[in-house]
Structure 1
């Protein structure tokens, strides 16, 4: 599935940092029960790739991606773990080429018009606007619309329930990303019921 098609299936992508591998399946089950079935696991902890492999095998109905990719080897490891898409915080041409070589859906992060032009040159039409709030928020995102009418975005970074609806009203926004449906304190408490409630709210944004 192409990245644009995948992002169009959801209103919100939970960005998860897995500290305890045992939390992986109940956390994903809680999110899925709330209607969120596209998730991103960040490569910030040791269990991350094991978590991706576990999800791809045990919960195949979830589209799991790997985020915080910094180089082509990260992308290769993500694909070998069962990821169906890859996400990076910035635009890296080596990652673009590796994703195309491996036929893995790829969502690079951008902030500027120059980065958007470079992504466009490589045939990328869906991008992560990151970090969204620090990069100008909705005002910053609006600046891309008249110049790049066929670029779509997944704004991520500093977004929560209070401003997510405003982002989603923009015609160049496919979905938003963030941790507001699965805050770290609830994961630590293993409060899956509350995470399902938040996921339900996020899915209906």
Structure 2
């Protein structure tokens, strides 16, 4: 488990913001990923919320140099296995379920499991996880909640996702128990639809600059 923790941390530490993408067209995923990588965002999460998601992961993994493509919205072991087969380098779930944890235990590809309560954090700590997703971040108490957790749940690190934007990202990134944040604002639907890859690279660069 320690090696898997190191693996997922090394990916999350590449940048302050991990793009969380809903991809409707696998063909556009490669150009989108290249635009994000050009802006400094190399770890990219493609959520399994559309029929195109697995094909998009496969294409990005094969064709985008420098990208670490992960799969999000993993709800069961079948999703996990399909995402790994498509080429995902990390897996993200919105919560925890026995099937997902079992699949993660059997796989070399690390899991970033979702949590929203101290009890879920404690459950995952018992299972060997030190790095987790906090979701949905804003609705679950925001940066104030994570700040309150930092002492009683010391040694646990988070990637908060949900309701985070350029405006409030630094509230999270300033916390000692936050590794990075997840956000969809770096790839707005209208820019993707228009093929405005330069515009997306600009947003990615602004997000990457939050690291400073």
Q: TM-score range by the shorter chain?
A: over 0.9
Give the equivalent residue in structure 2 for 1:7.
Answer: 12
SS of the residue corresponding to residue 123 of structure 1 reads coil
Structure 1 segment 151-166 matched on structure 2, within 5 A: 151-166=156-171
2:118 corresponds, among 97, 102, 113, to 113
1:45 is paired with a residue whose SS is coil
**Residue 25, structure 1, aligned to residue 26, structure 2:** no
Distance 1:56 1:3 in 2: 17
Identify the match of residue 92 of structure 1 among 97, 103, 116. 97
> Are 1:133 and 1:157, in contact at CA under 8 Å, matched by a contact in 2?
yes
Instruction: Please list the CA deviations of residues 77-113 of structure 1 after superposition, one character each: whole Å capped at 9, or x if unmatched.
Output: 0000000100011112321221121121101110101
TM-score when normalising by structure 1: 0.97
Q: What are the ranges of 5 or more consecutive residues in structure 1 without an aligned counterpart?
A: none
Q: In the alignment, what sits opposite 2:148?
A: 143
CA distance in 1, matches of 2:13, 2:173: 12
1:133 aligns with 2:138: yes
Alpha-carbon distance in structure 1 between the residues aligned to 2:102 and 2:128: 11
Output one character per residue of 1:115-148: Cα deviation in whole Å (capped at 9) or x when no partner: 0000000100100000000001011111211111
Hey, what's the Cα distance between the residues in 2 that align with 1:88 and 1:46?
Answer: 18
In structure 2, stretches of 5+ residues that fail to align are 1-5
TM-score of the pair, normalised by structure 2: 0.94
Deviation at 1:72, TM superposition (A): 0.4
Kept in 1, the 8 Å contact 2:20–2:44? The answer is yes
In the alignment, the residues of structure 2 paired with residue 21 and residue 56 of structure 1 have an alpha-carbon distance, to the nearest angstrom, of 12
**Moved segments of 4+, more than 2 Å:** none
- 2: CA distance between counterparts of 1:42 and 1:93? 20
**Paired residue secondary structure (1:14):** strand
Distance 2:150 2:82 in 1: 34
Corresponding residue number in structure 2 for 1:47: 52
